[in-house]
Amino acid sequence: MDIHNTLKRGFVIVGLLTLIGCAGDRPSTLGIQNNQLAGCPDSPNCVCSFETRESHGIAPLNGDLAQVKAAVSQMPRAVIISENGNYLYAEFTSSLMGYVDDVEFLADPAQNIVHVRSASRLGYGDMGVNRARIEMIRSLMTP
């Protein structure tokens, strides 16, 4: 085996390990806490309808979880992980590096709205991806 093949294999292995590492661990803060979703960290890679900070706040979705589920099912690289009563949790994986974002939905049937939280698992910034994702879901829910 020559040095070039050895280097190629090394780069492939490092690349694969890097991709595997981009998924990160599922956060322990997911789920309903005090009848709402967790707030966002200070980093600009999260939006949540329970947030009061303009940089992280986003309006809840109008509709119900069935509509959310139908919209999420239309989106690429989205996997619904769990659904329990008025709560839905999905993971979205980026196409290039395999980064995973955690997206949660909490329905309020009395008001016909669904609260949302979309957050990057790793890194600091997200170039607006989480906000754009929620707005895409909103547009898919609009008849």
Q: Write down the architecture of domain 3-141 according to CATH.
A: 2-Layer Sandwich (3.30)
Q: Judging by DSSP bridges, how do beta strands 78-84 and 61-62 pair with one another?
A: unpaired
Phi and psi, residue 129, nearest 5°? -65, -45
pLDDT tens by residue, the chain, 143 residues: 566 554 455 444 444 434 444 678 999 989 999 999 999 999 999 999 999 999 999 999 999 999 999 999 999 999 999 999 999 999 999 988 899 999 999 999 999 999 999 999 999 999 999 999 999 999 999 76
- What is the bridge-based pairing of β-strands 61-62 and 87-93? unpaired
Place of tokens 């009395």: 110
pTM of the predicted structure, to 2 decimals: 0.83
